[in-house]
Amino acid sequence: MGHRIFCQTILAICMCFAVSCSSQHSMTAASDNKEKIVRREKVRTELKNQYGNFYQGREELTIISIEELASDGIRIKLTLQSHLKEFSYFLISTNGSEFQKSLDGSIVADFRIDDSSARTTSIIVTMVSNDGGISESYTLDLICNASEYWASKGAKGYPNWITVKTYPFLDFTPSHTVENWIYRIPTSRERRFAEQKWGDLIKDADSNYEKAKLLAKALMDDLKPHIGVPSDAMKAPPFEQYERMVSGKDKGFCTNLANIYIHACNSLGIPARRIHLEKVHSRSDKVSVRMGGMHSTTEIFDEKLNQWIWIDQTYNVLGAYLGQEGPLNMTEFSLFLNQDERRKRLRVLYYNHKDKSEELLSLGECPKKFASLDGWDTEFHYFYSGNRK
């Protein structure tokens, strides 16, 4: 479709660990008459949270970059972005000045490098929508403590510090939108097909999640009788895969179900994405060794809840809950699945396509087992389209 596809891989809790080790002498003699001090190897472990990169919703305002610019003093450029669908432009006031219109959301603040006092640049930001509506105000304080400030307190050798404080709190996130996860853009012909096929079914539903559940049930009714190993002809576009399966010409498994479902959702204006799960131990030219199976699953984005929600046609899951909390996204479900106490509280909204009933069941009551999500070594591959910063 002319779109670049990026596959992002994370562990089950969407976090990556970077470990760096610095060796120390195992023993140091303080003096000939004192005990030797044992120093263990020093290991520095950093936990970098990637969860927001994959599960950020439509935030009204976020910070997408903070840059140091060339200057004789200290110059900082901060860039904002709004994810609102109807966003038009920013109104920005610096240190009480008149509000200025900004299309790119960039703000530059200057500070003296020889200043022995703490200095604050205070910024007020609002967003204007296409219909002229104005959002609530956000305050961003850029506080500079130059090295001279620290020296004046008797703490020499400190660097120049800029602290950014926001009210209400603003996330620092990459520049992306919900739609960037739609890596296969439906054609006008495919949109018409989906509207004719399922438009009436979902037209009265009052949220993306309700629409997505109705669509998932309809597709399970159509496709479940044709589960099996697909032929090479099933590498066709998603709706051609659908036609081959329902006509009895071909079979399909989890990847086909996922591709057909997310394409139907996206064709009907419901943002949806596919996630590939695997536990690959090793690969060679001769053989690949897997710890368990592989699986393709899906998430849809609900505008009202402002979150991604896990739905899985292979497992007949229309949603998952931790007790009464939910619906969960796929990463949350996997996290709780691998914690014994929380696993006991997990519930899935299970759809029985044979008698067309749905019921909230504990994992023990559910006919399906979730082996593809068991274990902390499961890799999640999220498919992404567009330029990611």
Q: Which residue ranges form the domains of the chain, and what is each CATH number?
A: 55-167 (2.60.40.10), 180-385 (3.10.620)
Q: For all residues of the chain together, what is the average pLDDT? A: 86
Q: What percent of the chain has pLDDT above 90?
A: 65
Contacts of 8 (CB under 8 A, 6+ apart): 53, 54, 381, 382, 384
Q: What pLDDT is attached to residue 38? A: 65
Contacts of 354 (CB under 8 A, 6+ apart): none
Answer whether residue 320 shows pLDDT above 90. yes
Answer whether residue 157 shows pLDDT above 70. yes
Which of 98, 80, 77, 97 minimizes the C-alpha distance to 89?
A: 80
Residues 272-297, mean pLDDT to the nearest whole number: 84
- Residue 247: which pLDDT band, with cuts at 50, 70 and 90? very high
Question: pLDDT by residue (tens digit) across 60-118?
Answer: 899 989 999 999 999 999 999 998 878 999 999 999 999 999 999 999 999 998 999 99
Residue 326, Cβ neighbours under 10 Å: how many? 20
Q: What pLDDT is attached to residue 332? A: 94
Q: What pLDDT is attached to residue 374? A: 78
* Amino acid at position 360, single letter: L
Question: pLDDT by residue (tens digit) across 182-207?
Answer: 889 999 999 999 999 999 999 999 99
Cβ pair 28, 39 in contact under 8 A = yes
Q: What pLDDT is attached to residue 357? A: 94
- pTM of this prediction exceeds 0.85: no
Q: What's the half-sphere exposure (Cβ side, CA atoms, 13 Å) at 387? A: 0
How large is the angle between the packed helices 188-202 and 238-246, nearest 10 degrees?
60
Q: What pLDDT is attached to residue 10? A: 38
Most confident of 129-133, 166-170, 201-205, 375-379: 201-205
Q: What pLDDT is attached to residue 375? A: 75
**Can the peptide bond before residue 327 be classed as cis, meaning omega within 30 degrees of 0?**
yes
Q: What pLDDT is attached to residue 25? A: 41
Q: What pLDDT is attached to residue 3? A: 42
Q: Among 81-85, 199-203, 300-304, 337-341, whose mean pLDDT is lowest? A: 81-85
How large is the angle between the packed helices 208-223 and 254-267, nearest 10 degrees?
140
- Residue 32: which pLDDT band, with cuts at 50, 70 and 90? low
Q: What pLDDT is attached to residue 33? A: 53
Rg (CA), the chain: 26
Nearest-angstrom CA–CA distance, 114 and 42? 37
- Residue 180: which pLDDT band, with cuts at 50, 70 and 90? confident
Q: What pLDDT is attached to residue 27? A: 41
Q: What pLDDT is attached to residue 24? A: 41
Place of tokens 């996630």: 275
